[in-house]
Amino acid sequence: MKARLPKGYSNGGAPTNIQQLARQAQKMQEEMDAANKELEEKEYSAAAGGGAVTATVTGKLEIKSLEIKKDVVDPEDIDMLADLVIASVNEAIRQARDEKSETMDKISGGLNVPGLF
């Protein structure tokens, strides 16, 4: 007994759909690569302690600069200064990650395919 394809399907349909899907995936990957490159060049800044400490990170999640106001430096309370530094750096990194995630979701339509980004 021979297997039959459902009405409207032909043997030539599957390869065409696969090729089209591959082209769409390649285009999506190119868009993601371009967006990723653009995002890596951006900078994100965040302040803590009412602006006492400001951290700036790149889209590559590397610290570019750290500004500390003189009046916040207290040799008796180094722990507070460390906490402000950590808070400002973490917030700047969060901003960079969130923007990357939002941008990639827009490109992929929320599709989560391992290896695309």
| 95 within a domain of the structure (yes/no) | yes
Question: For the segment 11-53, what is each residue's pLDDT rounded down to a tens digit?
Answer: 555 566 888 888 888 998 999 999 999 999 999 999 999 999 9
Q: Residue 75: which domain range?
A: 43-99
Report how far residue 78's alpha carbon sits from residue 50's, in angstroms, rounded to the nearest whole number. 17
For residue 45, the cross-strand partners are: 56
**CATH classification of the domain holding 58:** 3.30.1310.10
For residue 65, the cross-strand partners are: 56
Burial code (b: 16+ CB inside 10 Å, e: under 16) for 46-85 equals: bbbbeebbbbbbbbeeeeeeeebeeebeeeeeeeebeebb
| 50 within a domain of the structure (yes/no) | yes
| 51 within a domain of the structure (yes/no) | yes
- Residue owning tokens 């990650």: 97
Question: For the segment 83-108, what is each residue's pLDDT rounded down to a tens digit?
Answer: 999 999 999 999 999 999 999 888 88
Predicted model pTM: 0.71
| Number of separate domains in the chain | 1
Report how far residue 105's alpha carbon sits from residue 117's, in angstroms, rounded to the nearest whole number. 10
